[in-house]
């Protein structure tokens, strides 16, 4: 078993795609690094923390991007964002079976905040354009830094999200919430609290993650294969229904103080036991009870 959580972005792509099929665009040898970090005398990466390219998944052509949490927490800078936008726009021309986003990002890179913010908004627009063109965009979230900030929004704009229990998804990260609202509101060092609030199991129960898999690259690969034929309904009726579902969710759980309260309200027996369950047992325990 290869841990997806511990793997680097490059290892994840290698383990996810059919062996030997990945071809990288703008590889590190091209030296396309951040011009801003250079000015700030901050170490840069030759790939600016993101790997983009094409390959085969179960024999079908896909484009894929992987963010490297080991470089500035996968934060989105100008080059980083542009590489992702370029990949998404290329997909509109090439029409692959899907675009896979192996996200791991704390959001916008503060060193180049304006350029990063513009980058994130361009990614969002490119994702939506690609979806409306009928190419599914699938997010895989199981890295060490989770997926927060602008990339958290991007993830929710996509067709499907695959998470492991170790993955995290949210807008403001736990440390940001604690800093702005106080430790009484959210104790970012209470790791159990953090994971049951933004972790994969909770996101799956809320219906935000479509698949919950073990921390195993092979499990991520299988989940991505299973989602290749996702055909989203982008009709107005479907969108209205989705908005109603989200409104209803807020009404139903808005008063809950803790994820455990939500799990109880979902009718799950022994919710306190959920965090300990392995992925298979967990999916079985919550079958038919997701929000």
Partner 1 sequence: MRDWNIQARSRQARLARASSLAKGKEIGAADVAALLEAVLEPGDRVCLEGNNQKQADFLARALADLDPEKIHDLHMVQSVLALPEHIDVFERGVASKLDFSFSGPQAGRLAKLVGAHRIKIGAIHTYLELFGRYFVDLTPRVALVCAQAADRAGNLYTGPNTEDTPVIVEATAFKSGIVIAQVNEIVETLPRVDIPGGWVDFIVQSPKPHFIEPLFTRDPAQISEIQVLMAMMAIKGIYAEYGVDRLNHGIGFDTAAIELILPTYAQSLGLKGKICRHWALNPHPALIPAIEAGFVESVHSFGSELGMEAYIRARPDIFFTGADGSMRSNRAMCQAAGHYACDLFIGSTLQIDLAGNSSTATLGRIAGFGGAPNMGADARGRRHASPAWLKAGREARAGRNLIPRGQKLVVQMVETFREHMQPAFVERLDAWELAETANMDLPPVMIYGEDVSHILTEEGIANLLLCRTDEEREQAIRGVAGYTPVGLGRDKAMVENLRDRGIIRRPEDLGIDKRDATRDLLAARSVKDLVRASGGLYDPPKRFRNW
* CB closer to partner 1, 69 vs 150: 69
Contact call for residue 6 and partner 1 (CB under 8 A):
yes
The secondary structure of 206-218, three-state, reads CCCCCEEECCCHH
Q: How many chain residues touch partner 1 (CB under 8 A)? A: 17
Indicate whether 70 belongs to the interface with partner 1 (CB under 8 A).
Answer: no
Stretch that binds partner 1, among 30-38, 92-100, 186-194, 219-227 (CB under 8 A): 186-194
Asked if 195 is part of the footprint of partner 1 (rule: CB under 8 A), the reply reads: yes
- Give me the least distance between CB of 214 and partner 1, in Å please: 11
Give the C-alpha separation, 139 to 107, whole Å.
15
Q: In angstroms, rounded to a whole number, what is the distance separating the alpha carbons of residues 115 and 101? A: 21
To the nearest 10°, report the CA torsion of 113, 119, 125, 131.
-120
Residue 115, token pair as written in the block: 């350029």
Taking CB under 8 A as the criterion, which residues in 256-285 touch partner 1?
A: 275-276
Binding part of the chain for partner 1, among 27-35, 116-124, 196-204, 223-231 by CB under 8 A, reads 196-204
- Is 105:73 a contact under the CB 8 Å cutoff? yes
Stretch that binds partner 1, among 73-81, 147-155, 171-179, 195-203 (CB under 8 A): 195-203
Residue of 11, 89, 175, 190 interacting with partner 1 (CB under 8 A):
190
Tell whether residue 86 is a contact of partner 1 (CB under 8 A).
Answer: no
Q: How far is residue 34's CA from residue 169's CA, in Å, rounded to a whole number?
A: 26
Structure tokens at 41: 């005398």
- What's the length of the chain? 291
Can residue 193 be called a binding residue for partner 1 (CB under 8 A)? yes
3-class state of residue 58 by DSSP: coil
Contacts with partner 1 by CB under 8 A lie at: 3, 5-6, 165-166, 189-196, 199, 201, 275-276
């Amino acid at each position: 078993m290869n841990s997806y959580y511990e793997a680097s972005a490059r290892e994840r792509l290698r383990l996810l795609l059919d062996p030997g099929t990945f071809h990288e665009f703008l590889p590190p040898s091209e030296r396309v690094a951040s011009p801003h970090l250079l000015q700030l005398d901050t170490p840069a990466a030759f790939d600016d923390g993101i790997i983009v390219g094409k390959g085969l998944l179960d024999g079908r052509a896909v484009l894929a991007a992987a963010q490297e949490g080991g470089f500035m927490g996968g934060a989105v800078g100008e080059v980083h964002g542009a590489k992702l936008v370029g990949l998404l726009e290329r997909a509109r021309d090439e029409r692959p079976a899907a675009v896979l986003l192996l996200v791991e990002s704390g959001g916008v890179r503060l060193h180049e905040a304006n350029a990063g913010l513009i980058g994130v908004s361009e990614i969002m627009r490119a994702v939506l354009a690609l979806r409306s063109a009928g190419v599914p965009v699938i997010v895989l979230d199981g890295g060490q830094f989770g997926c927060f900030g602008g990339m958290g929004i991007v993830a929710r704009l996509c067709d499907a999200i695959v998470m492991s229990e170790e993955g995290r998804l949210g807008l403001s990260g736990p440390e940001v919430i604690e800093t702005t609202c106080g430790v009484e509101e959210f104790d970012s060092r209470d790791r159990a609290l953090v994971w049951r609030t933004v972790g994969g199991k909770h996101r799956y129960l809320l219906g935000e993650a479509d698949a919950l898999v073990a921390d195993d690259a092979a499990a991520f690969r299988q989940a991505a294969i299973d989602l290749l034929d996702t055909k989203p309904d982008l009709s107005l009726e479907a969108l209205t229904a989705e908005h109603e579902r989200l409104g209803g969710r807020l009404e139903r759980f808005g008063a809950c103080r803790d994820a455990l309260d939500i799990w109880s309200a979902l009718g799950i027996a022994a919710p306190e036991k959920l965090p300990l369950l392995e992925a298979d047992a967990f999916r079985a325990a919550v079958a038919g009870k997701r929000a």
